[in-house]
Amino acid sequence: MTDKYNNYDKYPEVSIKGYDKCAWQGYEDILKELKQSFSTLKKEKVILVLDFYPGVREEEILQAFTKLNPSLVIKSEDYTYNEDTINSMIKDYLTEDRVFGVLTTKKLQDLFIQEKIEEAQSTIDNLNEGIVLVYGVGASLITKGDILLYFDLARWEIQLRFRAGMENWKANNCKDPILSKYKRGYFVEWRLADKHKKNIFSQINYLIDTNQKDNPKMITGDAIRAGLKQVAEKPFRVVPYFDPGVWGGQWMKEVCGLDKDSPNFAWSFDGVPEENSLYLKFGEVKVEVPSINAVFFEPKKLLGERVHSRFGTEFPIRFDFLDTMGGGNLSLQVHPLTEYIQETFGMHYTQDESYYMLDCGEDACVYLGVKEGIDKDEMIKDLKRAEKGEISFPDYKYINKFPAKKHDHFLIPAGTIHCSGKNSMVLEISATPYIFTFKLWDWERVGLDGLPRPIHLKHGEKVIQWDRDTKWVKENLIDQVEVLTEEDGIRVEKTGLHTREFIETIRHWFSKPVLHKTNGSVNVLNLVEGAEAIVESPSGNFEPFIVHYAETFIIPACIEEYTIRPYGKSEGKEIATIKAYVR
């Protein structure tokens, strides 16, 4: 296990310039600022709208804001359809599957009763003076009011609240398994909320970070919009998070400085804007917002025109960690083909991926593709028997197993059976639809909750590409490194990905500055060798940006060109980055 670097930054920040006095922390200061805003309106009646992302602590917020002594309080949920009706409306999107649903095409307003909204609007109109407080998910569908506040929340914090017993929005399901809550969030709830957020974001007067209990942070709408614009014009990192798992290892504990008392850490998202968040610093106030906000509201600068035209406001590249050092094998799995994910789940692109071996033990391996000449019907039969507990699946009979060493890069186009073995530290570089993993075999394990982990043979057997056998895998997916250029102090290598995959990956080994060009696509990089590096602008368009070993960082497409060179402890030494971009 590597132990020479331990400078990984778990709490990266982006300092926002020009808005130091546009942020407030704590309910007392927030309410004081709002009262000042009321006075500038010079109106007898002030309509204050508090629009929530699903999952914010409603009781906490209402308790604080009723100190404004509103004359009328309106709760948005009173104007939606009831729970049973909503469940019926979204049933087809949730499906009977334990894990997978279908992305909803509905909008948040579809769950509100228009006649009741008109009644609420009439009630507000009939009040002549005082403060009207309208609050809840979709509150601005009733009225935009005089002052509109949006209460935001990071995706990872929502998942932690689900684990602690929180219900989904408009659902009496606090005791449901986390998988059920996550499925409702992923396929329905968050899709509705994100569409709604996009529609009103340009109109909000303030945004409030509600990630910490009883510690809200508020910034003006102008500040958050300017902040996201600044993020999209310079290198940045998202806030990583880490989680244990049944196959988890010990590497990230040491290298990333995690809790030594935790049994393990199985995986980390460090470069997944859909799930990660951003720490934005406004003066002395640090605000946490979902990093997907930068994609939603600055897509052309961040993604590039070409990538934006292809993927819309989705971030197509994902970097994450899979730690099995001292742990166990990942589940044997396969990802859906493009046509399958389109027709079955409503996604327009699939999870092609790759395993970059950031570190390895001596016995590390990767399971990849099927052996030559196997009977596919017999293999499916054995997988089904293993799922029932009748046998232990004889992987050695059907699945290739290849040795792995540090800096190997295994390519895994969708439809290829795969998994990483124990004693590996994988930097997974892939397309973003991360939820669509069809487990075929899980080594007779149960989850951390004591329940059998879901197996998805009904999906998996429909997408396995049986021609991805030993010969094909060796020729197409293993040891595909191609030296592109080499000069004194710099070696540039193409390491993948397969031609079926839209992501290209380039590795640079260097001991002096390297010039990079974004070529119209957002770049995502990781420092895979060396203690430190510094990213600089040849034209001075952004401040120098320091990165450390194993950190993932994002270069917006609009930067066009940048340099990376060894820095600090790495000066005078050879270091390496892996870079991914959309072809």
Looking from the CA of 338 toward its CB, the CA atoms found within 13 Å total 8
Do 210 and 356 fall into the same domain? no
Q: Are residues 448 and 349 in the same domain?
A: yes
CB atoms closer than 10 angstroms to residue 180:
17
Mark whether 215 and 346 lie in a shared domain.
no
> Distance between the two ends of the chain, CA-based, in angstroms?
34
Quick one: 317 and 459 in the same domain? Answer: yes
3-state helix, strand, coil in the chain (%, to 5): 30, 30, 40
**SS3 state of residue 576:** strand
Confidence of residue 496 (pLDDT cuts 50, 70, 90): confident
Quick check: is 258 in a domain?
no
Q: Does residue 8 form part of some domain?
A: no
Residues 321 and 203 in one domain: no
Which structural domain range is residue 566 located in?
Answer: 482-582
Q: Which of 451, 476, 501 is the last residue of a domain?
A: 476
User: Following DSSP, what letter does each residue of 229-282 receive, concatenated?
Assistant: HHHTTS-B--B-EEE--TT-BSHHHHHTT--TTSS-B-EEESS-TTT-EEEEEE
pLDDT greater than 80 at residue 3: no
Place of tokens 């990079």: 516
For residues 29 and 159, membership in a common domain is answered with yes
Average pLDDT over residues 381-404: 95
Residue of 524, 509, 510 whose CA lies nearest to 427: 524
Q: Three-state SS string across 113-143, please?
A: CHHHHHHHHHHHHCCCCEEEEEEEECHHHCC
Question: In percent, how much of the chain has pLDDT > 70?
Answer: 99
Q: Is the pLDDT of residue 219 over 70?
A: yes
412 and 352 in contact (C-beta within 8 Å)?
A: yes
Q: Look at 103-112, 279-288, 490-499 and tell me which has the smallest mean pLDDT.
A: 490-499
Residue 504 shares a structural domain with residue 407: no
Query: 173 and 32 in one domain?
Result: yes
- The pair of structure tokens assigned to 32 is 């004081």
pLDDT one-digit tens code per residue, 34-83: 999 999 999 999 999 999 999 999 999 999 999 999 999 999 999 999 99
* pLDDT exceeds cutoff 70 at 1: no
User: Do 280 and 412 reside in the same domain of the chain?
Assistant: yes
Q: Name the residue among 180, 224, 184, 166 with its Cα closest to residue 22.
A: 224
Rounded percentage of the chain residues whose pLDDT exceeds 90:
92
Mean pLDDT of the chain: 95
Q: Does any domain span residue 237? A: no
pLDDT digit string (tens) for 165-212?
A: 999 999 999 999 999 999 999 999 999 999 999 999 999 999 999 999
Residue with tokens 């590996």: 424
Among residues 205, 231, 257, the one where a domain terminates is 231
Strand order in the sheet with 418-420: 399-403, 365-370, 418-420, 332-334, 438-441
Which of 476, 503, 520 is where one domain is finished? Answer: 476
* Per-residue confidence (pLDDT) for residue 4, from 0 to 100: 56
Query: Is position 6 within any domain?
Result: no
Q: How many domains does the chain have?
A: 3
For the chain, counts of helices (H) and of strands (E): 17, 31
Contact by Cβ (8 Å): 181, 188: no
Q: What is the largest CA-CA distance in the chain?
A: 81
Instruction: Render pLDDT for 289-311 as a digit per residue (tens, 0 to 9).
Output: 999 999 999 999 999 999 999 99
β-bridge mates for residue 15, sequence order = 281
**What pLDDT digit, counting tens, does each position of 512-526 carry?**
999 999 999 999 999
Structure tokens at 339: 């046509």
Residue type, 378: E
CATH of the domain at 317: 2.60.120.10
Mark whether 467 and 490 lie in a shared domain. no
Query: Taking a C-beta distance cutoff of 8 angstroms, is the pair 367, 400 a contact?
Result: yes
Is residue 241 domain-resident?
no
Query: Does the structure show a pLDDT above 90 at 98?
Result: no
pLDDT tens track for 317-372: 999 999 999 999 999 999 999 999 999 988 888 888 999 999 999 999 999 999 99
Shared domain for 64 and 29, answered yes or no, is yes
Region of residue 53 (left: phi > 0; alpha: psi -120 to 50; beta: else): beta
Domain identity same for 465 and 527: no
pLDDT above 90 for 497: no
Is residue 236, in this structure, part of any structural domain at all?
A: no
| Residue at 264 is within a domain | no
Query: Domain of 26: which CATH number?
Result: 3.40.50
Q: Please give the residue that has the higher pLDDT: either 450 or 193.
A: 193
